[in-house]
Structure 1
Amino acid sequence: MKQKKKKHTDVLQTREFLDRVVAAQKLYGRRIGLSRVWNGPIPYVLISKASAIEPILSNPKLVEKSADYEFLKPWLGNGLLTSPASVWHPRRKALTPAFHFKILSDFLHIFHRQSLVFLDKLEEQLNNTEGFNIVPMATLCALDIFCETAMGCSVHAQNNSDSEYVRAHKQIGKIIRNRLQKVWMQPDFIFKRTDEYRKHQECLSVLHEFSDRVVRERKAELVKRRQNQDSSDRNNNTPIEDDGSRKKQLAFLDLLIEGSLDGNGLSDLAIREEVDTFVIGGHDTTAAALSWILLLLGSHQEIQDRVFNEIDQIMGGDRDRIPTMQELSEMKFLECCIKETLRLYPSIPLIARRLPEDVQIDDYTIPAGTNALIVVYQLHRDPTVFSNPDKFDPDNFLPENCNGRHPYAYIPFSAGPRNCIGQKFAILEEKTVISTVLRKFRIEAVERREDVKLLGDLVLRPRDGLKIKISRRV
């Protein structure tokens, strides 16, 4: 009985956090998009208007993350998500080439192959008339995609959801979220005396040991290959021979290692930090987006039919072959659906920055040392920007409806110099997975999205999952 009560309390506290933030903005910040709160002795300013957000996110001097991100550092170190500005600037410059359009296009076959595994898992639910929770399935699919593209090796999460790596990844996320929500768990001298800390360290051991081993083995492999390659074949990003028997695609890890061999200065530790950051920054966020869009399309059959028609026309009715980059780029309405999903349910609902200098917003001065908490969830539902802000309406992102919109009114991948480096990767992955699913299945929502309870922490999640049903398309 005690265990059940404790579980309910934890969920309630997590849910109330986002509720309180949104309620504060509705009550105190509706007119100018600013309100002030204190978290103990630490001042926060909540911001949810595009014009108030722009002076912060557009300023290259204001890229320091708040102290809230420190709880991720034992896992991610100084990866792009958590690093101070002095480390972030050179890292970002070194990593940008890894997200070049040509490299992303080379990952299409990975997206498609893992999407087919996802289809097999969905197929098992065809006779489930009561519906099933799509969130864990989408999460495992996204994890498989990211491990293979980031590290060059799959953890086979979809077929082995109980693997040690998958368990550790899931558990450490819960521990970090729990610590963020419970103020008394934040001081290290208290946290280190809890069972949560012991579990935290066990998870870190598993995750870092796995990443370290992969970095070490891939580096040795690439050094050996480089020694055997002709000078004309060096430094290209085309598939290279693997043991002389098959072609193997370079993963982000390989690209980072090759860069370090060419003298860009990233150590093995720095490479591991970035690979771990890619995994946490990409798989959870993409999994949430995939889950939400399937629920929303299942709730609006007429919109789903428009997506069907677009995909069928572009693919010539072929429901099996892998789409090309050109075909994916032509899926404009599907992209509108993805963007509208991220408007209503931004994967990252809050962005926190520490202001190292005073910032002037209209007639207000936000003093240096303040934490600026950008409420993306509320920003995206501003009725002065989106006339019917709570409605799922992909037409919001048709070109004619975007003209004149404030550039900071829609920021699912943040904005400014410290925006998400992987946003093109994410959209490409979501297009591939969703188009693969919709060529085979029709989605039907089991519950109204208005009844879904939200958990607002690192990633915006449904409290009790998202239930859908599927049927085979005729």
Structure 2
Amino acid sequence: MAVLKSLVKIFHKETLTLTDKLAPLALDGQPFEPMNRIGLAGFSMIVRSMTSLDLQIQRNFCDNHPFIRAFDDAFDIHMIRVLNPWLLMPTIFNLSRYKKQLMDASTQSRAFAEKVVAEIKSKVMQENTKREESFGRFQSNSEDVHEDNIQHSLAEVIIRDQLDPNIPTEDVMPPEELISEIITMLFAGMDTTKVTNAIILVMLALHPKVQQEVYDEIQSVMGNDPTLAPTYEQLSTFHALTRVIKETMRLFPAAPMIGREAEQEFQVDGYTIPKGAAMWIGILGLHRDHRYWPNPNRFDPDRFLPSETSSRRIPNAYMPFSTGARNCIGLRYAMLQMKTMISTIVRRYRILPGDKCKRVEDVRFTVHLTLKLLEGNDIRLEPRTTDM
């Protein structure tokens, strides 16, 4: 819990940078599609959360990053192989143009991960040198001694162990494995919240009464200063925003389908599913099934009022993060990030419909292993005026 609470400041600071970058668009009243800008902010958040490094990603890049492009390219190639099974054969795939594209994407992602590791190593070595030079002062100054109790990121802890001559090599994570883990964690935490945050803004633009309810509740807790950082406890009181997030994930689940393997034989509607069978669970279809959701295609955050969720919904009719033993390990991170980002944007800007997306039915997306937004999901921003 302490780790999650410490992330709120990172999320808020990065969102303030995002809102500053959005200011020219808001002043011009220019329609734009928010996903790439939100994605860059979210990418910077997860880099800082994982590594404790502030690489100034949003300030150094416009609305994309080489690592994000590499991820998108690798994901697209993976889907092409799934939809064209002959490309799953290594001999055929290696002769195709996709092989080089995948290698290029791998090189880009690895280059960034190596840069991150080098930055952390440099930081740790500088701190070690400073600590050795000031050892006498640390012994006599209790405030400085407490510096060792600062919470470090997991990547930083691993690299500290790698550089510690007193720890046997076999007891620390090998450098190659650390590179792979960083790439995997960045991939896993980047794509889904980007899409969900973008659609939340579109939903708020299309439902001004809902947006006003969200804004009023946030203001009642936070006051008129739109730059004030929320606390973890304050975020937990944003009930209207929580309902909006949940309803958005119902209509547009970031993982519209998930794969599972049957651990034992079982029956479904008279069909026998054998043990070991691979299967897909269609979460998008489940979330829009009229048997469980009245008017399933209508955006209605009040579906998630306590009175509704406790008395009317059957178990597992709602699973945006999957469910059971293999549910998403990033659930709490994602919810905290979305609450912080959306609440900070809403406090500074009124969100209005763009030129192309005027109704919920206009939201354009396609279904891969994750939900992908297509072009046309635009919004406008209008600066709010508050008495500071």
Q: Give the structure-1-normalised TM-score.
A: 0.70
Contact 1:149 1:252 in 2 (8 A): no
Matched, 1:370 2:277: yes
Matched, 1:272 2:179: yes
Which position in structure 2 is the counterpart of 1:438? 346
Structure 1's 301 and 204: CA in aligned 2 closer, same or farther, altered over 3 A?
A: same
Matched, 1:399 2:310: no
Structure 1's 456 and 254: CA in aligned 2 closer, same or farther, altered over 3 A?
A: same
Contact 2:40 2:65 in 1 (8 A): no
Which position in structure 2 is the counterpart of 1:176? 78
Alpha-carbon shift at residue 204 of structure 1 (Å)? 0.8
Q: Name the amino acid aligned to 1:380.
A: H
Choose the corresponding residue for 2:369, options 430, 434, 458: 458
Structure 1's 346 and 155: CA in aligned 2 closer, same or farther, altered over 3 A?
A: farther
Q: Name the amino acid aligned to 2:93.
A: F
Matched, 1:294 2:201: yes
Determine the C-alpha separation between the residues in 2 that align with 1:152 and 1:191: 38
Determine the C-alpha separation between the residues in 2 that align with 1:344 and 1:455: 13
SS, match of residue 408 in structure 1: coil
Matched, 1:165 2:73: no
Which position in structure 2 is the counterpart of 1:65? none
Structure 1's 319 and 453: CA in aligned 2 closer, same or farther, altered over 3 A?
A: closer
Alpha-carbon shift at residue 256 of structure 1 (Å)? 5.3
Q: Map Cα deviations across residues 161-220 of structure 1 (whole Å, 9 max, x no partner).
A: 465434433332333333333333322211111222112112212212332453365367
Which position in structure 2 is the counterpart of 1:424? 332
Q: Map Cα deviations across residues 251-297 of structure 1 (whole Å, 9 max, x no partner).
A: 34235557887998644444333322221121110100100000001
Structure 1's 154 and 385: CA in aligned 2 closer, same or farther, altered over 3 A?
A: same
Which position in structure 1 is the counterpart of 2:256? 349
SS, match of residue 113 in structure 1: helix
Q: Map Cα deviations across residues 343-362 of structure 1 (whole Å, 9 max, x no partner).
A: 11000101012335423446
RMSD: 3.0
Contact 1:142 1:283 in 2 (8 A): yes
Q: Map Cα deviations across residues 387-430 of structure 1 (whole Å, 9 max, x no partner).
A: 12111111111111110423311111111111111110111011
Matched, 1:409 2:320: no
Q: Name the amino acid aligned to 2:324.
A: G
Structure 1's 211 and 359: CA in aligned 2 closer, same or farther, altered over 3 A?
A: farther
Structure 1's 269 and 465: CA in aligned 2 closer, same or farther, altered over 3 A?
A: farther
Matched, 1:120 2:27: no
Determine the C-alpha separation between the residues in 2 that align with 1:402 and 1:341: 16
Determine the C-alpha separation between the residues in 2 that align with 1:255 and 1:195: 40
Which position in structure 2 is the counterpart of 1:312? 219
Matched, 1:103 2:14: no
Determine the C-alpha separation between the residues in 2 that align with 1:428 and 1:354: 30
Alpha-carbon shift at residue 222 of structure 1 (Å)? 4.7
Structure 1's 192 and 356: CA in aligned 2 closer, same or farther, altered over 3 A?
A: farther
Determine the C-alpha separation between the residues in 1 that align with 2:177 and 2:291: 44
Structure 1's 465 and 171: CA in aligned 2 closer, same or farther, altered over 3 A?
A: farther
Which position in structure 1 is the counterpart of 2:295? 388
Counting aligned pairs with the same residue, the percent is 31
Contact 1:111 1:433 in 2 (8 A): yes
Which position in structure 2 is the counterpart of 1:322? 229
Matched, 1:132 2:39: no
Matched, 1:282 2:203: no
Structure 1's 219 and 361: CA in aligned 2 closer, same or farther, altered over 3 A?
A: farther
Q: Map Cα deviations across residues 70-89 of structure 1 (whole Å, 9 max, x no partner).
A: xxxxxxxxxxxxxxxxxxxx
Between 182-191 and 298-307, report the one with greater CA deviation. Answer: 182-191
SS, match of residue 192 in structure 1: helix
Which position in structure 1 is the counterpart of 2:43? 143
Which position in structure 2 is the counterpart of 1:185? 87
SS, match of residue 391 in structure 1: coil
Determine the C-alpha separation between the residues in 2 that align with 1:218 and 1:282: 20
User: What number of residue pairs does the alignment pair up?
Assistant: 364
Question: More helix by proportion, 1 or 2?
Answer: 2
Q: Give the structure-2-normalised TM-score.
A: 0.84
Contact 2:299 2:360 in 1 (8 A): no
Which position in structure 1 is the counterpart of 2:109? 207
Structure 2 unpaired stretches of 5+: 140-144
Structure 1's 285 and 155: CA in aligned 2 closer, same or farther, altered over 3 A?
A: farther
